[in-house]
Structures are given as structure tokens and as C-alpha cells.
Amino acid sequence: MNRVRGRLAPLLGSTLRSAGAGGVVKGIHQVARAGEAQELGRDLGRGFATAGALVQETPKQRGWVRRVGTVALGTGVAGAAAWVATGDYPLRRITMLYTIPVRLARDVTTAVAMVADYKYSLYGLAEGSAEREEAQHEAHMRCANRLQALCFKNGGIYIKLGQHIGQLDYLLPEEYVKTMRASMLDKCPVSTYKQVCDVFLAQLGRLPNEVFEEFDQVPLASASLAQVHTAKTFDGQKIAVKVQHMHLTDSAVADTATVDFIVSLVHWFFPSFDYRWLLAEVRDSLPKELDFLNEGRNCEKAMENFKKLSPKLASQISVPHIYWEYSTQRILAMEYMDGVGVTDVGAIKALGLQPADVARLVSQTFSEMIFRHGFVHCDPHAANMMVRAKPGTKEPQLVLLDHGLYKSLDPAIQSNYAGLWKALVFADSKKIKEHCIGLGAGDDLYALFAAILTMRPWDKIVDQSIDHLVVPDTPEEREELQGYASQYFWEVSDLLSRLPRVVLLLLKTNDCLRAVDNALGAPVNTYLIVARTSSKAVSEMERKGSFSQVWKFWDKLDLEFRLLTWKATALLFGIKHFMKSLGFS
């Protein structure tokens, strides 16, 4: 625990700082480097020890091994034949009998190279030393590039995994996040029209031009799992048709198992490197995302929740109507939605809308989902949201797209998460610790969890001054925070392996919303809306009985006073920076 607190001292604040590690004698380091190859050989040799042992067997034992091998081979061939025969695309599956081993070989080669790189680069370097931090940064860069190349070569869910990594700001080392974000988000596979026709024939028994009056053969957009085409029904409706890339369902299970094996292998070499949670989440969510009927149901349920639980907000939310008669597990036909990008400030202003109103609406929408509905869209990046003017008004209307990934929150998690945000607003260190532990962070890493959630060091989180969360970051602060994911690589890994997977998705959602809010130039809105909604949710959960309405009113009054002071502080902060930009000191 002391080691963890010492390493986290710069992030968690001066109250947790401990004495730094002593220096490292350079001569010892150079001698240690000479023995690295031997240690690396021993590490890599573990994986081949079992195979090597077979060579030492007696003739009788080798005969037994051959018989078992023959049975295993026959079973494998029979299983492969059955797998090919029962698939929608037998020829594709025959091809995959060759490609899957090739992909596995790429995975193993990449994993061994990454393990060797970290082992070699960090061997003999003292924890916390500047030399180790620099070596770790360089190793992160090399390994991120290797992982990027692997994702592009293998495609399929590897692209999806790379995109997921590219969205985990502050949760993974920035070298991985930036590398994946720069290359994965706009370079998705595109299926040919023939492949699209194959999916239609397998799913609906007809070609696209037989199902629809018109069908654009060129996709409107493509993502990692599917692409979208525009079409026109025989009764004249313009619709959007989402078609899954044809090979994904067949390869998903094998790819997921392979990647899981690689991550487990790396964890075996580096016990502190535990990112198996990332694969566990992919394994859990991917089948749901590949089932477009599930996506359609999520879409309708989300809108129904707003109508029932947040009726005042419902008119400002829109989701596409689902055309169930044209939809299957791999094809989703839905209403074609007009709108502009949620972060396109110029286009938003051209509609006569205010970016600040859009930011407020986005924050309010997802706060209601998280704190009151308990049914959350967990992929709210900018590409999955559009904005348009609410009919007959100058108010914004938010269009929510891509409903494949939703999570239902356990009441205990929902209560702790709402309570945590309320405690963060009031800088209540006791309650922050209580709710962080309730969410699974533990009593040794609760401060790190709060820091990741708010993007603030611990000493600022518990600062009783009014502006402890609301004042915008400086570029220097943002750079410092981004570096923490690399500097505290092992501690962050430990924390993320402890948290329930749904909490990890809440962190991802929180980060996506923060990025949208910042792009719209109104970073204060997220905290204001989250503060109101989480406090309201806590009051609804805790204030019951005859005087509940009185207590709820008091809670609201207390919160609004603090938020009013926040707004004043933010306004003064903005005026100060404006005057400074004009040359006034």
C-alpha cells in the first residue's frame, strides 16, 4: 500500500506523498542489461516446456500420445466439417479454416514481441526513476504500433477493439490511446455490394432491389461491425439500412478467444498487467452488438424510458423508428434521420441553435439515463449523435443513433454512482471514499478512481473552495493528467481489474460526454447538469416518508445555492481570461 501511495503521490496530492526511491547505480544497471537475454529466454521458454517434455517419453508413452493425437485430429476434422456445413456462408467458413490459424500466428508473434520488448526495456530499472519512465514510454509507443498493425491485418473485431482502446483516455497509456484514435476511428472495413447481397439472401431470402424500390449500392457510412445504405420502400419512405459485415459472426468467437489467450499470456508474464477486463467486456457486449434485433429493442426501450420517466425532456430526444418487417439479426432497417454533427459548432449555429444549449441537452440526456433510468447508452461518441431544431422551435433536438451497446445498472451501483457525484460536487471526502469503495475501487485506490472520474488531482477534488471542479483545465494541466495513465500504468491496471465492468463503461461514457462538451466550448455544463440530476436521484432514493417532499425541496435549495456560486465563479474566470487576452494583467 505504501508503494502504491508513493507512486500516486503527484496525482493524489501532497497529503499522500511519500519519500521517493533512492538512486540507481549506473554500473549495476549496465551489468544487469547483460543478463537480460538469459532471463528473456527463460521466460519465453516456459511456453515450450510442455511440448519439449514429449520428446523424453518412452516408446510406449509415445504410442499412447499418437493414439490420443489421432483421435483429437479426427474429432477436430469432424468438428470443422460440421462447422462449415451449418454456416450461412460455407465457402467463407472453408476460407476461415486457413485464415484463423494465420491470425493466431500473428497474435502470438505480436504478443511475444510485446512481452520481450517490455521485459528487455524495463529490466533493472528502478521503480519511479526517470530512466524507467522514459524507457516505458518508448516501449508503450513501439507496442502500440505493433498492436495497431495487428488490428489492421486481422480486421473484424480487432478494429472494434482498437476503436475501444482509442476512446479510453486516462484509463490506458496515452501512447496506445492516441495511436488507436488517430488510425482506427476513420478507417473501417467496407463490404462490397456482392457481400451485401449475400447477407440479404441469407437473412431475407431476397436481394436488396427485391426488398426495396431503391437501394443505394454505395454505403453512406461504414463502421467496424456494419455499414449503412440509404433505401426507399415501395410506399415511398426513405430509410437507412444497416448491414452487418458478412464475416463477423463466424470469426467473432475465434477472434475473441484468441485475443483473450494473448492478453492472459501477457498477464502471466506481467501479473500487474491485467487488462483481461477489456476482453471480458468485449466478449460480453459483442454478441449483443452483432444482434441487430437487440439494437432495435434497445432503441425503442430508451425512448420509452424518456416518455415515462423524463417527460419534460422527451420532446427534445429523437431515435429512429424501426421497420421490423425488413429487420433481422444482421440487417436493421430504420427511419432516415436528418441532422448535423453534435460537435459541428458552425453547422449548429447555422441552424439558429446555440452550442451551449446543445451541450446542456447532451449532458441532461445522459444524466437522466444514468442516474434515473438505469438503462444507459454506453457508446455516446460524437458520431452516434446528431442535432436538429425541434420542429416549430429554436430549441435543439438530440438524435441518438447506434443503440447496440446498452447497460442496465444494478440499483446498488446506480445508488453509489449517484451518491459519488453528489459527494464530488460538495467535496465531501468521507462520502467520496464511501461510494468509491462501494463501486469496487477499494480503500487504497479510491482516490485514484475519483481522480480518473473528474480529471482532477485528489487535493483539488476535496478542496472546499467553490471552483474545485468547475474551473476549466489549462493546457499544462491536461498534459499532466494525460501523462498519469502512463506514469501510473500498473496502478490504473489494478484499479480497472477490480471495478465491475458496467462501471468501466460508465467511465467510458463519462469521457465521451466530456469530449463532446469540450468540443462545444461549454465545459461547465457537464458538472452543473450531473450535479442536479445525481442529487435529485439521491433524494428520490433516500428521502421517503411523510416529510420527503420537504427534505427534497431543502436538498434542491442547498444544491442550487452552490451551483449559482459556481456559475458566478465560472463567469469571473471567463472575464479574467478575456481581459488577459486583451493585454490586461
- For residue 160, what are the contacts with CB-CB under 8 A and spacing of at least 6? 224, 225, 282, 286
The HSE-up count of residue 129 (CA atoms within 13 Å, CB side) is 15
Residue with cell 430509410: 239
> Cβ distance 170 to 485 under 8 Å?
yes
- For residue 549, what are the contacts with CB-CB under 8 A and spacing of at least 6? none
Cell of residue 153, nine digits:
491485418
How far, CA to CA in Å, does 108 sit from each of 40, 53, 105, 165, 390?
16, 21, 5, 20, 52
- For residue 53, what are the contacts with CB-CB under 8 A and spacing of at least 6? none
> Cβ distance 389 to 395 under 8 Å?
yes
Please state whether beta strands 396-400 and 317-318 pair in parallel, antiparallel, or not at all (unpaired). parallel
Task: Quote the CA–CA distance of 46 and 43 in Å, as a whole number.
Answer: 6
Query: Residue 379 catalytic?
Result: yes
Q: What is the 3-state secondary structure (H, E, C) of 496-520?
A: HHHCCHHHHHHHHHHHHHHHHHHHC
Question: From the candidates 169, 250, 379, 517, which is the catalytic residue?
Answer: 379
Cα–chain center distance at 492? 15
Burial class (CB in 10 A: 0-12, 13-18, 19+), 52: exposed
Q: What share of the chain is helix, strand, coil (3-state, %, to 5)?
A: 65, 10, 25
Task: Quote the CA–CA distance of 62 and 75 in Å, as a whole number.
Answer: 20
Return the bridge partners of 331, or none. Answer: 243
Cell of residue 425, nine digits:
460536487
Written as one letter, the residue type at 32 is A
Of the candidates 389, 335, 396, 393, the one whose C-alpha atom is nearest the C-alpha of residue 525 is 396
Burial class (CB in 10 A: 0-12, 13-18, 19+), 376: buried
Of the candidates 200, 212, 169, 163, the one whose C-alpha atom is nearest the C-alpha of residue 185 is 163
User: What's the Rg (C-alpha) of the chain?
Assistant: 27
Residue with cell 499522500: 16
Positive or negative: CA dihedral 167, 173, 174, 176: negative
Q: Which residues are catalytic?
A: 379
